[in-house]
Amino acid sequence: MAVTAMYDYNWPSRSAAEFYGDAQLVHVWWKGNPFFVSAATFPFPKEMPFGALVGLCKEFFAADPDFDPASMDTARWAVDKEPLTPDMEASLVANGVGHKSLVQFEI
């Protein structure tokens, strides 16, 4: 519904894709492990290969003392809640990852 106002109220988003240039915000979520209290948000280049995202995850999630990086190789992925078998060589965008997309995995 429209915002009730004394004039025609319409203001743009402060987090729009255009403010990030060649990057976009991506939320990365290890579903089922609340040691990381929430998903993490990153400004990833749109053309970054999905495999590079996985590589960054292996470093990031090592903050959990029980994390085994090798377990990510058999992780089950989803993008915006749709299951995905990622093409590791292809870019994030080619894998369907858009601005503020949720990239989740379960181990």
Partner 1 sequence: MTVSPEKPARKLSMKQRYSALTHDLDWAPTYVQEEEIFPFTTFEGIKVHDWSKWEDPFRLTVEAYNKYQAEKDRRLYAVLDGFAQSQGQVGLTDARYMNAMKIFLQGIPVHEYNAHRNFSYLARYANGPGARFAALCQSMDELRHAQTEIHTLSHYNKYFDGMHHWHHWTDRVWYLSVPKSFFEDAMTAGPFEWLIAIGFSFEYLLTNLLFVPFMSGASFNGDLPTMTFGFSAQSDESRHMTLGLEAIKFMCEQDEDNVPIVQDWLDKWFWRGYRLIALVAGMMDYMHPKRVMSWKEAFELYFEEQMLNGLFKDLEYYGIKPPRHVQWAIDEKEILSHQVYWVLYQFSHAAAFSTTIPNAEDQAWLEANYPETWPVFKEVAWDKAQRVMDAGGRYFNPGLPQLCTVCQIPMGFTEPGNPLVQCQRQSVYEGERYDFCSDGCQWIFDREPTKYRQAWLPVHQIFQGNCGGPGGLPAVAEWYKLGPNDGAEYLGSNDQKNWLAWHGQTPKEA
Among 13, 74, 82, 83, binds partner 1 (CB under 8 A): 13
Find, among 57, 44, 50, 56, the residue nearest to 79 by Cα.
Answer: 50
Residues paired with residue 43 on neighbouring β-strands, in sequence order: 25
105 burial class (0-12, 13-18, 19+ CB within 10 angstroms)?
buried
82 contributes a contact to partner 1 by CB under 8 A? no
Nearer to partner 1, 12 or 83 (CB): 12
| Binding mask of the shown chain, residues 59 to 78, with x at each position contacting partner 1 by CB under 8 A | -x--xxxx------------
C-alpha torsion angle, residues 71, 76, 79, 82 (rounded to 10): -170
In the complex, least distance from residue 66 CB atom to partner 1, rounded to whole angstroms: 7
Residues 6+ apart with CB under 8 A from 60: 28, 40
Could you say whether residue 85 binds partner 1 (CB under 8 A)? no
Smallest distance from partner 1 to CB 41, Å: 5
Residues that bind partner 1 (CB under 8 A): 1-6, 9-17, 19-20, 23, 25, 27, 29, 31-43, 60, 63-66, 80-81, 98-102, 104
